[in-house]
């Protein structure tokens, strides 16, 4: 029967995009060094991810790396670059693009002299084999090295690039340092208990680079009362730029208290407006993308409740803003989680949005404390699905996602890193996970991040039974076998793109229901069965 089902599935490939699934960890270099994947892109015959790895000199002395996977999740090759005098690292939030018929990444190089360090922005061009063609750097190149250009994101523009990042300016001979002690902070002067003053300024910058990586213009946006970090950039439909930023002060115990900021400029870099998307608590940086209709879309962590000290329950905020600075809509999405932080935002193939991120939550006893998540919405910012993922399952292990992209088969690919603890073995590895259009991890399972109610298994050894499958005129959903539930249940059916197609109730005392589907479009559908306590189980059905 199983083989028959597989054959039928491929018979309907004209209406169902063939999906690949994988969930893998890998190293850029030696197995004992820490690794992380930061950005992804799809190429003709697979996927490319970039990230960082440690060195033999020290696990904390980083090189940059690129890895290639084929479409089925097999690692094809890895390449690393770096030296013994500087730390190299890629930027996050979509810092890997194809532009002007070539591939580019942006990042930073941190160098050291005496007891101090400084960073330069790095732009790298690659050939089709992802070997470097050239590397361009920008920053302070002469003593006293009192400023750093830390690149965070970039975007391709006509005949060049716009890079955004944070400019660090040191105003004396010492680097800025915040200990875990009582601090007073006024006008960017941190006064420690020892009455020693350290001066350090942060402000967003934009570098306009030509096609060879040479800087044509530089724009800075200081704010004398705050640390101001530039983290994300888009070119807007009116020819200007929008920066996703974070503005904060240092509070007690060195804790950053601040807000997500969207800053809009004209085509010449002149500031037009600034919008604060923050609330009463800590929040996180704004991350931007363009909407299909030419507006600005921003996501950010939004803290809704303080649990204790620096621990916050958060939701994902998604906001659409016009080029004139007016809010079109604002949504709060996902579950209320501890430290739920978006890490990237991309538009998907249907004009909706896919948000990647990480969350730390110990509410569910069978989950790791740190998990990655993806959240998909439609073009109006309404949630289609929200799911958490892991490749390591010990309670103390970490699973972080830094990026997620829509793929040509209709699914999604995520990248990040995992750090084992407890019963999980190994060292910190890069992590890639391939999902279908519903965010499911396999054709027969769609884990939703909630502990599932245990039901008596059916005769085909699943907790729900969907038959006939494939279906033509109708199919039935059965809960358990010979079990009469003492409460009603709800059956929800979603199409391949996560849209709710049908919602019906199984009355109290019954364990099955029939759905008539002769007027449904052919394709694959996800079936969820749940009650007020959560999801029992989910499965898939093919309508032919």
- In DSSP notation, 475-541 reads EEEEESSS---SS-EEEEEE-TTS-EEEEEEE-TT--EEEEE-TTSPSEEEEEEEEETTEEEEEEEE
Q: What is the mean pLDDT of residues 467-491?
A: 78
Sign of CA dihedral 10, 16, 20, 22: negative
Q: What is the mean pLDDT of residues 273-284?
A: 92
Diameter of the chain measured on Cα atoms: 80
Tokens read off for 304: 């809704």
Q: What is the mean pLDDT of the chain?
A: 83
Question: In whole angstroms, how far apart are CA 331 and each of 34, 278, 302, 381, 457?
Answer: 36, 13, 11, 7, 39
pLDDT at 326: 97
Which of 225, 309, 298 lies closest to 264, judged by CA? 298
For residue 484, is pLDDT > 90?
A: no
Picking from 31-40, 261-270, 344-353, which range would have the lowest pLDDT averaged per residue?
31-40
Q: For residues 23, 27, 33 and 34, what is the CA-based torsion angle, rounded to 10 degrees?
A: -40
Q: Return all residues near 124 (Cβ < 8 A) that are at least 6 apart.
A: 104, 105, 106, 107, 132, 134, 135, 136
Tokens read off for 57: 């000199």
Q: Return all residues near 79 (Cβ < 8 A) that are at least 6 apart.
A: 65, 66, 67, 130, 131
Sign of CA dihedral 316, 317, 323, 329: positive
Which of 84, 29, 67 lies closest to 427, judged by CA? 29
Cα separation, 354 vs 383, whole angstroms: 10
Q: Return all residues near 219 (Cβ < 8 A) that are at least 6 apart.
A: 205, 206, 208, 265, 269
In 284-318, which positions are buried (b, 16+ CB within 10 angstroms) versus exposed (e)? bbbbbbbbeeebbbbbbbbbbeeeeebebbbbbbb
Contact 470, 11 (CB under 8 A): no
- Cα–Cα–Cα angle for 65, 93, 257, nearest 5°? 120
Cα separation, 355 vs 348, whole angstroms: 10
Cα separation, 213 vs 161, whole angstroms: 8
Which one of 74-88, 230-244, 310-324 scores highest in mean pLDDT? 230-244
For residue 118, is pLDDT > 70?
A: yes
| pLDDT confidence tier of residue 534, bands split at 50, 70 and 90 | low
pLDDT at 262: 98
Q: What would the pLDDT profile of 155-195 be if each residue is shown by its tens digit?
A: 999 999 999 999 998 765 444 443 333 323 333 333 333 33
Tokens read off for 211: 């096609």
Q: What is the mean pLDDT of residues 516-544?
A: 79
| pLDDT confidence tier of residue 11, bands split at 50, 70 and 90 | very low
The pTM assigned to this predicted structure is 0.79
Q: What end-to-end distance do the CA atoms of the chain give, in Å?
A: 17
Strands (E), 278-340: 287-290, 296-308, 311-321, 327-338
Q: What would the pLDDT profile of 488-528 be if each residue is shown by its tens digit?
A: 888 989 887 677 889 999 888 888 899 999 899 888 888 88
How does strand 429-435 pair with strand 489-494? unpaired
């Amino acid at each position: 029967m199983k083989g028959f089902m597989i054959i039928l599935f491929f018979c309907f490939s004209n209406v169902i995009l063939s999906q690949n699934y994988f969930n893998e960890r890998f190293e850029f270099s030696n197995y004992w060094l820490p690794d992380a994947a930061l950005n992804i892109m799809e190429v003709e015959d697979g996927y490319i991810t970039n990230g960082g790895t440690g060195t033999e000199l020290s696990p904390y002395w980083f090189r940059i790396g690129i890895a290639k996977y084929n479409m089925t999740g097999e690692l094809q090759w890895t390449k690393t670059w770096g030296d013994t005098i500087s730390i190299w690292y890629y930027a996050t939030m979509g810092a890997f693009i194809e532009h002007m018929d070539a591939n580019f990444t942006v990042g930073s190089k941190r160098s050291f002299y005496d007891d101090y360090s400084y960073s330069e922005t790095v732009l790298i061009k690659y050939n089709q084999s992802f070997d470097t063609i050239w590397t361009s750097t920008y920053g302070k190149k002469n003593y006293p090295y009192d400023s750093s250009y830390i690149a965070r994101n970039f975007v391709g523009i006509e005949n060049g690039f716009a890079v955004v990042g944070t400019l660090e300016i040191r105003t004396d001979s010492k680097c800025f340092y915040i200990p875990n002690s009582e601090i007073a902070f006024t006008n960017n002067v941190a006064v420690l208990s020892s009455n020693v003053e350290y001066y350090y300024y942060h402000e967003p910058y934009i570098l306009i680079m030509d096609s060879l990586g040479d800087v044509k213009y530089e724009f800075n946006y200081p704010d004398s009362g705050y640390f101001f970090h530039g983290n994300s950039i888009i070119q807007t439909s009116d020819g200007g730029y929008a920066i996703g930023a974070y503005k904060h002060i240092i509070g007690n115990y060195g804790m950053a208290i601040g807000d997500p900021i969207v800053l809009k400029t004209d085509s010449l870099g002149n500031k037009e407006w600034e919008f604060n998307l923050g609330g009463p608590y800590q929040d996180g940086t704004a991350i931007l993308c363009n909407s299909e209709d030419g507006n600005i879309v921003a996501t950010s962590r939004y803290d809704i409740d303080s649990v204790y000290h620096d621990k916050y329950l958060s939701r994902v905020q998604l906001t659409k803003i016009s080029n004139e600075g007016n809010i079109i809509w604002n949504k709060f999405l996902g579950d209320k989680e501890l430290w739920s932080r978006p890490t990237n935002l991309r538009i998907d193939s249907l004009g909706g949005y896919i948000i990647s991120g990480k969350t730390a939550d110990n509410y569910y006893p069978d989950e790791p404390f740190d998990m990655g998540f993806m959240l998909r919405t439609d073009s109006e910012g309404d949630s289609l699905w929200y799911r958490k993922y892991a490749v390591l399952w010990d309670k103390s292990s970490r699973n972080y996602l830094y990026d997620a992209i829509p793929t040509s088969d209709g699914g999604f690919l995520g990248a990040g890193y995992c750090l084992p603890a407890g019963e999980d073995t190994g060292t910190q590895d890069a992590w890639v996970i391939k999902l279908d259009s519903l965010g499911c991890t396999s054709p027969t399972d769609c884990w939703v991040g909630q502990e599932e109610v245990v039901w008596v298994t059916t005769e085909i050894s699943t907790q729900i039974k969907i038959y006939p499958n494939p279906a033509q005129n109708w199919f039935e959903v059965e809960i358990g076998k010979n079990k009469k539930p003492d409460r009603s249940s709800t059956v929800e059916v979603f199409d391949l793109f996560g849209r709710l197609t049908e919602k019906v109730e199984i009355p109290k005392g019954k364990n099955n229901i029939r759905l008539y589907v002769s007027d449904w479009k052919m394709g694959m559908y996800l079936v969820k069965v749940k009650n007020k306590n959560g999801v029992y189980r989910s499965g898939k059905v093919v309508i032919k």
